[in-house]
Amino acid sequence: MTDRADVARLLSGDWISRQPKAFQQALLDAVVWREVEAGTTTLDDDLDARLDEYMAERGYANRSEAIRDLVRGGLEKEVLAGSPDEPCIGAAVYVYDHEARDLARRITGIGHEHHDLSLATLHVHLDHDSCLEVSVLRGKSGDVRHFADHIIAERGVRYGRLVMVPVQLSTVAHTHGSGAARHTHVHVTRK
């Protein structure tokens, strides 16, 4: 493991020795020390090219950042797939034919049946026949998935997708300002 003395030796070269002592010390103080596990990953040519495209499209500065985000996303997905009791925040996005027999009424009914999960719904008229809705949901991942699957499976729903983010939920009672009544918020923190 690298320590401050090792870095000091590395920074004791010609360039750094010409810098003011205060700058040299500030540079040493700015270094954040932590042990990092480095490794080598072998990718086939096609996957390597796809990673390069992914990095370019999203503006990643280096492969480590891109791979770290991809691994984190995969692990979060596994957390949600692993247990239906994991708390999450989700967004169900679906497009449907508003002229389909009773579909709008059925979708509204599904929302009311799951009112404990639903935080908000955005409704957009796309054209004369199609509507897009985004339902923002909070609850156990199994319940959120069931809600979205139920809507997406309805006849007349043309497209549907669910995005879930694992979270930790905590309830904290507090007041705002002087004389305000105590109330409760649910604070969401990413796992």
Assess whether 52 and 124 both reside in one domain.
no
- In terms of pLDDT, which residue wins out, 78 or 29? 78
Same domain, 51 and 110: no
The CB density around residue 136, as the number of other CB atoms within 10 Å, is: 14
**Cα–Cα distance between 132 and 93 in angstroms, integer?**
7
Tell me the pLDDT tens digit for each residue of 104-138. Answer: 888 888 888 888 899 999 999 999 989 999 999 99
Is residue 1 scored above 60 in pLDDT?
Answer: no
The count of structural domains within the chain is 3
CATH no. for residue 103? 3.30.70.1150
Do residue 92 and residue 165 come from a single domain? yes
Is there a domain that residue 180 lies in? Answer: no
Strands 157-174 and 183-190: antiparallel
CATH number at 49 reads 1.10.1220
Whether residue 103 sits in one domain with residue 71: no
| Average pLDDT for 130-153 | 90
Q: Is residue 185 part of a domain?
A: no
Residues 18 and 31 in one domain: yes
**Quick check: 107 and 183 in contact, CB under 8 A?**
no
**In a shared domain, residues 103 and 137:** yes
Choose the weakest-confidence range: 28-32, 74-78, 86-90, 93-97: 28-32
pLDDT at 143: 93
Rg, Å, the chain Cα set: 25
Most confident range (mean pLDDT) of 61-70, 81-90, 112-121 is 112-121
pLDDT for residue 34? 46
Residue 123 is predicted with a pLDDT of: 92
Q: What is the pTM of this model?
A: 0.58
Report the distance separating Cα 95 and Cα 126, nearest Å: 9
- Asked if residue 67 and residue 28 are part of one domain, the reply reads no
CA distance 154 to 104: 10
For residue 96, what are the domain limits?
Answer: 87-171
Together in a domain, 91 and 77: no
**What value does the mean pLDDT take over residues 83-98?**
88
